[in-house]
Chains A and B, each alone.
Chain A
Amino acid sequence: MIISVTSGKGGTGKTIVATNLAYLSKDVQFVDCDVEEPNAHIFLKPSITFSQEVSLQIPEIDEKKCSFCGECALFCNLNALAVTKKGVILFPQLCKGCGGCILVCPEKAIREKERLLGVIEGGRFQSGEFLHGRLIPREPFASPIIRKLKKMIDGRKELVILDSPPGMACPMISTVIGSDLSLLITEPTPSGLFDLSLTVSVLRTLDIPMGVVINKANKNNIIEKFCEKENIPVFMKIPFDRKVAEVYSKGHLLVRDEKWRKKFEELFERVLSLDEI
């Protein structure tokens, strides 16, 4: 079963839920897809045993062959190429590596070269396999790394956990797409609710079943009301507790504490029980 753990708003406790859940499984693959700010390794403390570079194929123009016809620049929908009388200018950070310019060039003057975007690292932690990616700061596009990470998913595992980036733009979509269940982590504030409603609409269009975890829960029941109206199950509530924040700040897991372990075990059971349906 593949689950994605996501949230519209950042900092709602996505990684807390994902890592604690991972710790309880005996046969898990944990994939941190938040490649802009990967944090799960801080909690799961995997021993990293391999690393692999991720790059994008971008064009390289052979000026000797180029006739400056401008076809490539005309084709590029991302405006990554500009042709002047003196030469072709590539804006590498705009290029997504679609390869179209190579196909349209009548002089066959374009080759591809690699542009390094980041790395993927993997290894093992106590309960299973660990993978994450890191985008090089200054690079704009996270999705190629996420796509690569997702190709490494091992579907035979009892549980694959995808720790998703926040938001609802491309990096989040690339992560959650194809998962069997999405856990949405939110908090009972107006902004928590607003961002949750955005995420719900995304997941509905993608047709992914979902369950909600309310973090920093208190007497305010705006999230419950919303979930009831939308017919989305609330799987778990993590009460507001300064202790949780302190444990988190040190990079520790909550499940080491008996009380929390029970709660996360219940969540774990709920998640897995959905697999049988």
Chain B
Amino acid sequence: MEELCVISGKGGTGKTIITASFATLSENKVIADCDVDAPDLHILLKPEIRSIEEYRGGKVARIIEERCVKCGKCAEHCRFNAISNFRVNTFLCEGCSVCQLVCERDAIEMREELGGYIYLSKTPYGWMSHASLLPGEENSGKLVHEVKKRARELAKKNRSKIILIDGPPGIGCPVIATLSGANIALIVTEPTLSGIHDLKRVLSVAHYFNVLPLVCVNKYDLNEEMTEKILSFCTRENIEVVGTIPFDEKVVEAMENGRIIISEGGEASSAIREVWKRVHEVLQRLH
């Protein structure tokens, strides 16, 4: 069983469109949406939810007013500035319990908060594990971890060959959780200065966590000079480029209608098919 995650560093480079396309093109896989912060894959894959599970995030402190003598010790020790005016700001609280430890009046309780929901769903293209996060959850990496765990269980049960993962943008904790245990990271970039800048950063994370990176340049014709730069950078760094995808109004239209570009035809659609072929070859090689 191989884990393929699609990430990008910079947001909005077309990660989800490509993951959804792969979902329609690949066989025998389980899909996971690990962009738990802004999950969009369901808009394209239209899953039917089969089970909902509550996700318990971290703990959050609460000051019990009747017991509090307003000594201020808690606020003094909280390194996250989560306590002011003898109230805990649940958005800032990291749930470390230090305030509870230092409080001499036993006036602080730690409560487990509902952090979100985890779903197992059926899509026309296979099973999917996904989630929704409640606002402000600190450790979204932990929820990503749970989503991946469910996907692995599904894959085992169905004897799936691939887990196809839509990853989050950035390089922080949810990205790291997405990469951990993955075999391949397809990095979708775009020919902009920001795109190339972010590509380099996300590549070093992939290297650090020992995941084989592949690169594809989306909307390559928006700035062909920049695309050249990305391609030669990849050659220099010995990173396999699995294709370039042209800018295509059809993609914009498909997105607007919540449709997957593959079924709409056109230049971008055929380019994505080619990218999938190349990725698939690499997957077989790993096998």
List chain A positions with a Cβ less than 8 A from chain B.
8-12, 15, 36-37, 39, 42, 75, 77-78, 93, 96-100, 103-104, 135, 137-143, 147, 165-174, 177, 188-191, 194-195, 198, 201-202, 205-206, 216, 218, 220, 240, 242, 245-246, 248-251
Task: Given the known inter-chain contacts A10-B12, A98-B79, A140-B141, please indicate yes or no for A249 contacting B223, CB distance below 8 A.
Answer: yes
Task: Given the known inter-chain contacts A100-B98, A137-B202, A190-B258, please indicate yes or no for A169 contacting B140, CB distance below 8 A.
Answer: yes
> Are A135 and B172 closer than 8 Å at their CB atoms?
yes
- Asked whether any CB of chain A lies closer than 8 Å to the CB of B10, the reply is yes
Which B residues touch A98, using CB under 8 A? Answer: 79-80, 94, 96-98
> Are B38 and A249 closer than 8 Å at their CB atoms?
no
Kindly report which residue of chain A lies nearest to residue B191, judged by CB atoms: A249
- Extra contacts besides A9-B38, A96-B94 (15): CB < 8 Å: A12-B11, A77-B58, A77-B97, A93-B176, A98-B79, A137-B208, A142-B172, A167-B38, A169-B140, A170-B136, A170-B140, A173-B92, A190-B255, A191-B16, A191-B40
Could you list 7 examples of A-B contacts with CB < 8 Å?
Answer: A36-B201, A39-B198, A168-B136, A191-B255, A191-B258, A240-B252, A250-B226
> Are B133 and A169 closer than 8 Å at their CB atoms?
yes
Kindly report which residue of chain A lies nearest to residue B223, judged by CB atoms: A249
Indicate which residue in B12, B81, B172, B198 contacts A140 across the interface (CB closer than 8 Å): B172
Q: Which 8 A-B pairs have the closest CB atoms?
A: A11-B12, A10-B11, A167-B37, A98-B96, A140-B173, A36-B170, A191-B40, A249-B192
Q: Which of B133, B141, B193, B204 has the most CB of A within 10 A?
A: B193
Closest chain-A Cβ to B158's Cβ sits at a distance in Å of 27
> Are A8 and B38 closer than 8 Å at their CB atoms?
yes
Which A residues touch B81, using CB under 8 A? Answer: 147
Which B residues touch A195, using CB under 8 A? Answer: 38, 40
Which B residues touch A93, using CB under 8 A? Answer: 176
Task: Given the known inter-chain contacts A246-B223, A249-B191, please indicate yes or no for A100 contacting B96, CB distance below 8 A.
Answer: yes
- Asked whether any CB of chain A lies closer than 8 Å to the CB of B240, the reply is no
Which A residues touch B232, using CB under 8 A? Answer: none
> Are B43 and A190 closer than 8 Å at their CB atoms?
yes
> Are B197 and A138 closer than 8 Å at their CB atoms?
no
Kindly report which residue of chain A lies nearest to residue B201, judged by CB atoms: A137
- Asked whether any CB of chain A lies closer than 8 Å to the CB of B138, the reply is yes
Kindly report which residue of chain B lies nearest to residue A251, judged by CB atoms: B193
Measured between alpha carbons, how far is A190 from B254 in the docked complex, in Å? 10
Measured between alpha carbons, how far is A81 from B18 in the docked complex, in Å? 39
Task: Given the known inter-chain contacts A42-B197, A191-B16, please indicate yes or no for A138 contacting B169, CB distance below 8 A.
Answer: no
> Are A10 and B43 closer than 8 Å at their CB atoms?
no
- Asked whether any CB of chain A lies closer than 8 Å to the CB of B233, the reply is no
- Asked whether any CB of chain A lies closer than 8 Å to the CB of B101, the reply is yes
Which B residues touch A78, using CB under 8 A? Answer: 96
Indicate which residue in A36, A191, A202, A250 contacts B172 across the interface (CB closer than 8 Å): A36
Closest chain-B Cβ to A74's Cβ sits at a distance in Å of 11
Kindly report which residue of chain B lies nearest to residue A193, judged by CB atoms: B43
Measured between alpha carbons, how far is A242 from B222 in the docked complex, in Å? 8
- Asked whether any CB of chain A lies closer than 8 Å to the CB of B2, the reply is no
Measured between alpha carbons, how far is A202 from B58 in the docked complex, in Å? 18
Indicate which residue in A77, A99, A170 contacts B79 across the interface (CB closer than 8 Å): A99
Kindly report which residue of chain B lies nearest to residue A188, judged by CB atoms: B256
Measured between alpha carbons, how far is A173 from B133 in the docked complex, in Å? 13
Which A residues touch B205, using CB under 8 A? Answer: 137-138
User: 8 Å CB contacts to A: which residues of B170-191?
Assistant: 170-176, 190-191
Task: Given the known inter-chain contacts A78-B96, A99-B77, please indicate yes or no for A165 contacting B38, CB distance below 8 A.
Answer: no
- Asked whether any CB of chain A lies closer than 8 Å to the CB of B47, the reply is no
Measured between alpha carbons, how far is A96 from B77 in the docked complex, in Å? 14
